[in-house]
Structure 1
Amino acid sequence: MRLCFFRLALLIVSIFGLGACNGCNPQKAPTQDPSADKPPGATSAAGSATAGAANSGAAGREVEVFLIYGSEKKTWLEESIKAFEPQKKTTASGRPITIRAKAMGSGESVQAIVNGTDKPHVFSPASSAYIALLNSAYAQKRAKPIAQPGETVVLSPVVIAMWKPMAEALGWPKSPIGWSDLLKVNLDPRGWGSKGFAEWGRFKLGHTHPEFSNSGFLSVLAEAYAGAKKTRGLSRADLDNPSTRKFLESVEQTIVHYGTSTGFFTDKMIARGPAYMSATVSYENLVIESYQKNPPQPIIAIYPKEGTFWSDHPYSILDAEWVGNEEREAAKIFLEFLKARPQQERALALGFRPGEASVPIASPIDLAHGVDPKQPQNLLEVPEVATLEKLLDVWKDTKKTTDVVLVFDKSGSMRGRPLEEAKRGAKSFLDVLSDRDEVTLSFFDTVVYPTVGPVKLGDGGRKQLAQRIDGVSAGGGTSLYDAIDKAYEDVSKRAASARGRIHAIVVMTDGNDEGSRLTLPALKRRFPNEADTPVKVFTIAYGEGASADVLDEIAESAKGSAARGSVETINRVYADMAAFF
């Protein structure tokens, strides 16, 4: 279960060091024992070039620094590496330094390092929470932590990205806006009509899944603080307070759906417009970046008046057997380069706050790009471990529940390993969902079979559905469009009578449609031509034989999202897909 892994993340977030202050840099995590046992496992292709090379080379032999980093700073880091190369920096022994970098999701990268599938010399996630998470997870397998606390290279506060006209309707920029203001619009039966804009409909929010994403977790923590009317000292008793829980539930009811990527919501806001989403929890640099993507209206950053958090982008040199003295020396030289004024000024130009206090904040961190250089004024305090331990349980009890139909291709082309891996993936999908969620199974080949469910996952429902998945065998053709159409018809009926839930279809297929009575254009006409469609369709193209472009088209028409998987990745793809719910 992913829950255990991410509960661990919550426990160690308490050392994140986000104390309350007025716009200061986040504190660094406390120094930990940097020694580490020798990890087993094969070295990755990226890491193999440097493994064991620390003290064995003569002058002139390259020292390669392998760096894994959070993709939020991809443009800046890639530009910095290109600028570093002509410098022809060397170690003290005269060996030239080269940099190899790999962008990965923070949670994924932690797993890769712990499992030994990647062996970087430097780890630079979006948040220091993942440094602590890596140490805790690694120590469980190796008995000792692996990562130093690291130094901040760039900064970006967590914000609520909102369409400018909507923010103005709430009083921005004259009045500070917070979670409570968003909640008032949501609770009013008139929605945006309570502010004189009935044509905007209801208030709709997006934030990432807190078990998968740093911004999602911090969103829920900020909501809890707002509900408790505190800025520090949040306790388990506060989370048990009915008024806090009611506040959390009310905010979560505004959710369109969840997800794994913070940037995903900003991109979808821009692509689909205000009717799809009123606001999303994001990072300040992503708001600035949106001005280069021609949004239908300007997007501005709201710094919640109740308080917010920093994303502090640490640069941590790992202490492991594959990081020798010269790799460590070279990594420090590259760190100095990143913190030098030219690179810090370039980070500023890309929308980040400089990690070096000596570099003054200037454009584009300004009102012309939707952000306020004087914010954030208040940073929330991370509460004690016992409170963090309980937070996810409270969120699971208050989150917006899901009614999802899992449409599963059991056609003949799925025989053998593809079917077995797809079964594993579908069961991992069930594992990630909440006990309060409901799932319907819809199997198809040439025939679209009678559905199983909807079944509530708690009280044995998850086991019941897993047994039905295990019992499936492959055969027949692929009536893909008919299967989606039947699922859409069924869940749409429930959506009409059970508002306040996420209603969705997740469809997986490894082939092209064969013999459906419905054509692709006719299927697409089934979906309402509006951003705020009550049922969203998410697709998984499984293997090279799947019509990925067609599935992308279906997902976009039904305002969902598309993914692609193989027998090697389908388990993870399914689990990631479940993060939307």
Structure 2
Amino acid sequence: MRDHGPDYLDAVANYESNVINWNIVYATEFARWNDSLVFLYLSDGMFWMDHPFCVLDAAGWSDDEQLEAAGIFIQFATGVKYMQDLLRFGIRPIPSAGINNITCCQSTIATIYGANPQFNSDTNPVIPYPTDDVMNEVLETWHKIKKVACIAMIVDTSGSMSNTDSFAKSRLEYAKTAVRQFLNSMEDHDYLVAYSFNDIKFSKASHEGLKANVRSQLGTFFIFYFLNVYNLNWANSLTAFGGTPLYKTMWAAWKHLTNIKTANEQNGTQWNYGLVVLTDGNDSTSTATEHNNLINSYPTSVEASNDPTVIHIFPIVFGDLESQGDLDNLAQVSGGLGFEANKDNLNDIYYQISLEF
């Protein structure tokens, strides 16, 4: 909502204190939309977060001096003065502090910041926290029913991807590992298509479809025959050589996703769509038309981009993302995210992107 306006997202589950602080920190951004966040207090019950604080007096490594210090700290942390200070950050005091007026002391628990100090654990029932079994069932059910993600994965296989950057393996080898992890992170009912590019052309993997049906062709799948290991899948077969037709490939993948999206919309099917592209250099062989076609398919500003069904673009760049100006801008106006990659964070980046879906 901060970047794309109130039409982009309806609601999100979060803490009262976060709503307060976001309204303060992002006041300028929200002002562009003449809007702000509001915390909803459910009449049939809410979760109330507390953070138990105890002294480990039975631990063998706690000596008398440490136990005394811990007790003194608890007295300080739960004292009236400290509890009043926390009101400035939208954090409610513990009941034992005896603070009945939570609007004092520069409190940010106020309607102007999206909160209502009139609501409390007496006015709104406290819902007990669910058991581990219930939460596990909720999470399992969520994975089964969540909206399908349709993802085009693009991997740069130009010659520069063979660079090792003084590490043990090349950029491409680290990329292969990360791509396989990304595939493992997606759901079986997600739809996947894969592209690679080098020289002046691109290639699309011969297999695409639901992950459950194409995981072996795209991800990790080996045949062991005596002492030989044969790589039969797309990720393992990638090799680095040639130039960088970046936008040629992105435009082809975007058109492919758009065709899938159009067909789905015609029969009432709603999916999420994403284009995840890993590259390490400037485009060297795409035409100006191919470049501009993709750029012109999106609004010119973040403020003008408020369509949640748009194809989200996630560029992953070995090097400086800002130097790839159009990629950085495409990530922003498409509601995606841009990343600067290295061998240490590449796996985490792909995992973070998988969580977006």
Establish whether TM, by shorter chain, passes 0.5: yes
Spell out the pairing of 1:32-51 with structure 2 (5 A cutoff): none
Question: Is 1:420–2:152 an aligned residue pair?
Answer: no
What is the correspondence of 1:430-469 to structure 2 with a 5 Å cutoff?
430-446=183-199, 447-459=201-213, 461-466=214-219, 467-469=233-235
- 1:406, 1:442 within 8 Å by CA — same for their partners in 2? yes
Shift of residue 550, structure 1, vs aligned partner:
4.3
Aligned equivalents of 2:198 and 2:186: distance in 1?
26
8 Å contact from structure 1 (residues 510, 545) kept in 2:
no
SS at match of 2:282: coil
Task: Give the match for residue 230 of structure 2.
Answer: none
2:84 paired with 1:352: no
Match of 2:236 among 453, 470, 475: 470
For residue 392 of structure 1, what is the aligned residue in structure 2?
139
Give secondary structure in 1 for the equivalent of 2:142.
helix
SS in 1 for 2:152: strand
TM-score, structure 1 normalization: 0.49
Select the residue among 524, 531, 537 that pairs with 2:313: 537
Equivalent residues of 1:408, 1:508 under 8 A apart: yes
d(CA) in 2 for partners of 1:408, 1:472: 9
- 1:544 Cα offset (Å): 5.3
1:434 aligns to what SS in structure 2? coil
**How many angstroms does 1:379 deviate by?**
3.1
1:444 aligned counterpart, secondary structure: strand
**Aligned AA (1:430):** L
* Kept after mapping to 2: 8 A contact 1:524/1:557: no
* 2:287 counterpart residue number: 517
Larger radius of gyration: 2
User: What residue number does 1:403 align with?
Assistant: 150
Counterpart code for 1:401: V
Counting aligned pairs with the same residue, the percent is: 28
The residue type paired with residue 10 of structure 2 is S
Instruction: List alignment gaps of at least 5 residues for structure 1.
Output: 1-268
Partner of 1:28: none
- Superposition pairs for residues 113-512 of structure 1, below 5 Å? 269-292=1-24, 293-294=26-27, 295=30, 296=33, 297-313=35-51, 325=63, 334=73, 336-355=75-94, 357-358=96-97, 359-360=99-100, 361-362=102-103, 363-373=107-117, 374-375=119-120, 377-415=124-162, 416-446=169-199, 447-459=201-213, 461-466=214-219, 467-498=233-264, 499-512=269-282
Distance (Å, rounded) in 1 between the aligned partners of 2:278 and 2:332: 15
Change over 3 Å in CA distance of 1:327–1:396 after alignment to 2: same
Query: Could you state the TM-score of these two structures normalised by the residue count of structure 2?
Result: 0.76
Gap regions ≥5 residues in structure 2: 163-168, 220-232
Q: Distance in 2 between matches of 1:484 and 1:515?
A: 13
Per the TM alignment, residue 334 of structure 1 is displaced from its structure 2 partner at its CA by: 5.0
CA RMSD of aligned residues (A): 3.0
Compared CA separation, residues 432 and 516, structure 1 to 2 (3 A)? same
SS in 1 for 2:353: helix
Q: 1:544 to 1:316 in 2, by over 3 A?
A: farther
Q: Which residue of 1 aligns with 2:227?
A: none
Does the 8 A contact of 1:541 with 1:551 survive in 2?
no
Q: Secondary structure at the match of 1:449?
A: strand
Cα offset, 1:335, TM superposition: 5.0
Deviation at 1:485, TM superposition (A): 1.6
Indicate how the Cα distance of structure 1 residues 407 and 352 shifts in structure 2: closer, same or farther if over 3 A, else same.
same
Following TM superposition, by how much is the alpha carbon of 1:284 offset from its aligned partner in structure 2, in angstroms? 1.0
Per-residue deviation, residues 418-444 of structure 1 (Å, max 9, x unmatched): 212111111111111111111111112
Relative to structure 1, the CA distance from residue 534 to residue 544 in structure 2 (aligned partners, 3 Å threshold; closer, same or farther) is closer
Count of residue pairs brought into register by the alignment: 310
